[in-house]
Structure 1
Amino acid sequence: MKNHLKRTSRLVSLLFCLHSGAALSADLGAAEPSRAAVPASSWSLIFTTYGWIPWMSGNMTVKGRPLDVNVDPSQVFGHLDWSTLPAWMSYAEARRGPVGLFNDVVYASLDGSKGFAKALPGGDLQANVSVNYTQAIVEFGGAYEVWGGHNPVLSGSTAIDLIAGGRYWHQDTDVAGTLAFDPFVKETVRSGSVDWVDPFIGLRLRNQLGAGEELMVRADFGGFGVGSDSSWQVLATYNWQMCVLYGHVLDGYVGYRALSVDYSQGSGATRYEYDVLQQGPVVGSTLHF
């Protein structure tokens, strides 16, 4: 299985690098000279662009109207709002010795999604529900390597980072639907801009499986009633060196990400609630500076 994964990843790497028109490294599995050349006393930088293919499940309330959220990727991608920036996802980290500073951005805007949410029993919006939905999640934080050495379970060396930071959420939701007591009357309710920040703490494991290969697992928990009641995230990726572009190592990676949050504010007709789990595969590429 591992050899099949290696062969597949290298084939993808070869096609990507040839398409980019860059000079390939002599051996895609060779050591990464630009990483090794960075002294521990100097800053290094990585920049990642990625795509997250999400399933969303849970429930939300907009202006006191309860809604069920049960969305698959086709319902997300089929309703991206192309009149503006439909989506953006990126990750950046600067590192010097055991210290790292990172930033992660997830943005998506949906327009007229009929499959995004449906009214729950007890609400007055019962049919033909469609949603315009904008979400931005901006994460900022730091990492500190607390342990490094040989992994007794997996091959290669392992480092464990303690991570901490904040996760800023922005949401803006418009829900339109016909009224339960009068199907000929349509009503639109708007959440307006809803913003909050969740502090979080967690751990990250980085395991070098071999030259140019890394397994990364991260888990964090936050909220603590400061912003949301609770929030948690799990991310696992397999990373491999694809090629060298103009002297900089380019990695590819595949993995899985799950992010959950339980937030609420207001009461009655002003209540806004968002209790949703977003999860699915992630695919991206990382450039090392």
Structure 2
Amino acid sequence: MRVPMFMSVALAIFATAARADGTPQWSAQTSPIKPGPSGWHFKFTPYAWLPWINGDATVKGRDFTINQNPGQVLSSLDFAWMSYQEARRGAITLFSDVMFTKNSDSDSFARSHQFSAHVEGSVGAALSADYKQWIVEFGGMYETNRWRMGPGPGEADTTLDLLVGGRYWHQELDVDLSLDGTLDIRNLVIERGIALARSGGVDWVDPFLGARMVYQHSPTDSFVFRGDIGGFSVGSKMTWQAIATYNFYLGSHAAIDFDGYLGYRALSVNYVQGSGIDRYEFDVVQQGPVVGITGKF
């Protein structure tokens, strides 16, 4: 899996953002971090993400191609929950992101290859697939740089946070296969005249490093850019993520400020475990529009 060019550039930025002793490095154009307001400040963001899903998967040694558009994802969706939580005090931010999706009877999620590299003979036609996934992200950020865009108070700021965290994955992928004359049924389950390739529960955790840049265009709108890269063969072989959003003020109620946001998110992972007919692989990129509402208190 190739790492996009912007991730290479981001890593170069991360490497120069601090000295070897870990203290912030300030250029002539930046000012030291100002003490933040006392106490913790919180954000809660429920959101919706409708991605294109493209890549390859292997279940019980059988290879499949995954190719779904947002409409196909939505048509097979049973349930979804997506939310981002953040707590900030001064230069320190703690964050988590929880996403759960369950799709059933999707006839577009998995398509059979003609032959599998892991099992002799053809795999049979993929009739439908059931897919369940948890992605739970957690970590912390530290603000290292703050650029003042104008000389006076109230001018727009740009801030840079370095981040470190982990991403927990849980997947269950079951694919229904037709019982054609050449299908090798080893390690498959036969129910009602259909062969089932069941992954069972597959779990792993990916460490990651990244950065977030926030450009406060005005007191009521801002742009946020975030990228991370991880896996490092600790969990998956490699994973990367990129998010860009435009955030705008909606109003206040009961001492809570509300912002809306629109953006685009891409998340890639390449995970492999087992071999032969026990092989499970998930090498997929999910990317598409994201929309949400943030409550700040």
TM-score tier (shorter): 0.7 to 0.9
Note if contact 1:148-1:157 (Cα within 8 Å) is conserved in structure 2: yes
Structure 1 counterpart of 2:115, from 119, 122, 131: 122
RMSD across aligned positions (CA) = 1.7
CA deviations over 1:211-258 (Å, ceiling 9, x no partner): 111100000000000000000000000001101011210000000000
Note if contact 2:112-2:126 (Cα within 8 Å) is conserved in structure 1: no
Aligned to 1:213: 221
Aligned to 2:99: 106
Aligned to 2:166: 166
CA deviations over 1:152-175 (Å, ceiling 9, x no partner): 9xx821000000000000001111
AA aligned opposite 1:139? E
| Secondary structure, aligned partner of 2:72 | helix
AA aligned opposite 2:174? D
Structure 1 counterpart of 2:49, from 52, 58, 74: 52
Gaps of 5+ in 1: 1-37
Aligned to 1:92: 85
Aligned to 2:157: 157
Q: Distance in 1 between matches of 2:52 and 2:243?
A: 15
Q: Distance in 1 between matches of 2:126 and 2:219?
A: 54
Aligned length: 246
| Structure 2 residue 270 is matched with structure 1 residue 262 | yes
Q: Distance in 2 between matches of 1:286 and 1:240?
A: 10
| Secondary structure, aligned partner of 1:179 | coil
Note if contact 1:108-1:134 (Cα within 8 Å) is conserved in structure 2: yes
Shift of 1:180: 4.1
Shift of 1:151: 4.4
Structure 1 counterpart of 2:67, from 65, 70, 75: 70
Q: TM-score, normalised by structure 1?
A: 0.82
State percent identity of aligned pairs. Answer: 48
Q: Distance in 2 between matches of 1:109 and 1:64?
A: 23
Q: Distance in 2 between matches of 1:189 and 1:119?
A: 12
Aligned to 2:77: 80
Gaps of 5+ in 2: 1-34, 117-121, 184-191
Q: Distance in 1 between matches of 2:201 and 2:216?
A: 43
Pick closer, same or farther for the CA change 1:220–1:128 going to 2, 3 Å: closer
Q: Distance in 2 between matches of 1:67 and 1:128?
A: 8
Structure 1 counterpart of 2:280, from 269, 272, 279: 272
Structure 2 counterpart of 1:202, from 210, 221, 240: 210
AA aligned opposite 1:112? D
AA aligned opposite 1:285? I
| Structure 2 residue 145 is matched with structure 1 residue 147 | yes
AA aligned opposite 2:41? S
Please say which of residues 183-192 and 111-120 is displaced more in the overlay. Answer: 183-192
Note if contact 2:110-2:126 (Cα within 8 Å) is conserved in structure 1: no
CA deviations over 1:183-226 (Å, ceiling 9, x no partner): 89520011000000000000100110001111000000000000
Q: TM-score, normalised by structure 2?
A: 0.80
CA deviations over 1:61-105 (Å, ceiling 9, x no partner): 000010000011111111112xxxx10000000000000000001
Aligned to 1:288: 296
Q: Distance in 2 between matches of 1:128 and 1:229?
A: 27
Pick closer, same or farther for the CA change 1:117–1:128 going to 2, 3 Å: closer
| Secondary structure, aligned partner of 1:122 | coil
